Amino acid sequence: DVKVTQSSRYLVKRTGEKVFLECVQDMDHENMFWYRQDPGLGLRLIYFSYDVKMKEKGDIPEGYSVSREKKERFSLILESASTNQTSMYLCASSLSMSGANVLTFGAGSRLTVL
Amino acid sequence: GDSVTQMEGPVTLSEEAFLTINCTYTATGYPSLFWYVQYPGEGLQLLLKATKADDKGSNKGFEATYRKETTSFHLEKGSVQVSDSAVYFCALTEGQVGGKLIFGQGTELSVKP
């Protein structure tokens, strides 16, 4: 069964800390995505990557960066965490950029910034 | 820009009731439309999809028809079960770029025995 694994389910960090959220997929998918999920707002795209070492900004990239050094791994980085980044973060991958393509999601990482 | 609007939740139904969750969209092109479901403590998973007008997606007793004339993709199920309790998200692809999904705000469904 295909899988997207997010390394941390729950994290608690302090304001100003650097935070790494890791995501690994075992499906040899080309594309990987980071979404943020907040109640009443649905999911919003932070960054995505369609190839190793490539990245594109999504709708809300401010305060985040990403790294994709290997095809299977896509990391989300909060350089200096702030309380308004407290949220659920969802990683996803897809095989191609076809418009009908389906995303496979990880279970999510719930981040609390104090 | 493109957007998706879902009916607000939470929706509470008794087991075996009929379910409708409304979803309307605005899009400049011809997007694909999706329903994803998120069970408690899990990530999202695809429930069904439709890629062109008048297509009907179906899975696990759920159905949705891509209505271009009304820009809608309403989710329906004839008889819900307690196990259907989850959050349901309507989504569309932005342009033709797969994976760049635009999501609605989600509708929480609670089914009581």
Type of residue at B72: S
SS3 A9: coil
Mutate to test the interface with B, among A7, A9, A36, A105 (most CBs of B within 10 A): A105
pLDDT digits (tens, 9 = 90+) for A24-66: 999 888 899 999 999 888 899 999 998 898 899 999 999 999 9
The pLDDT assigned to B35 comes to 97
pLDDT reported for residue A1: 66
Closest chain A CA to residue B44: A105
Confidence (pLDDT) at A99: 61
* pLDDT at res. B30: 82
Provide the pLDDT for residue B29. 79
* Cα distance between residue B72 and residue A33, in whole Å: 26
Q: Considering only CB atoms, which chain B residues are within 8 Å of A5?
A: none
Residue of A nearest to B10 (CA): A40
Return the number of CB contacts < 8 Å for A and B.
72
Question: What's the pLDDT tens digit per position in A1-11?
Answer: 669 999 889 99
Rounded to a whole number of angstroms, the distance from the CA of A107 to the nearest CA of chain B is 4
Residue-wise DSSP of chain B: --EEEE--S-EEEETT--EEE-EEEE-SS---EEEEEE-TTS-EEEEEEE-STT-EEEETTEEEE-BTTTTB--EEESS--GGG-EEEEEEEESTT-TT-EEE---EEEEEE-
Reported as a single tens digit per residue, the pLDDT across A53-108 is 889 999 999 999 999 999 999 999 999 999 999 999 999 998 876 666 788 999 99
Residue B97 pLDDT more than 70?
no
Query: What is the CA angle A23-A29-A35, rounded to 5?
Result: 45
Please report which confidence band the pLDDT of residue B69 belongs to, taking 50, 70 and 90 as the band edges.
very high
Q: How close, in Å, is residue A53 to chain B by CA atoms?
A: 18
Indicate yes or no: CB of A105 within 8 angstroms of CB of B44: yes
CB contact under 8 A, A94 and B98: yes
- Chain B's closest residue to A36, CA to CA, is B103
Contact status, residue B87 vs residue B75, Cβ threshold 8 Å: no
**CA quadruple A32, A36, A37, A40: dihedral, nearest 10:** -130
What type of residue sits at position B77?
K
Question: If you average pLDDT over residues B9-26, what whole number do you get?
Answer: 96
> In 3D, which of A58, A41, A53, A113 has the Cα closest to residue A84?
A113
pLDDT at residue A13 greater than cutoff 60: yes
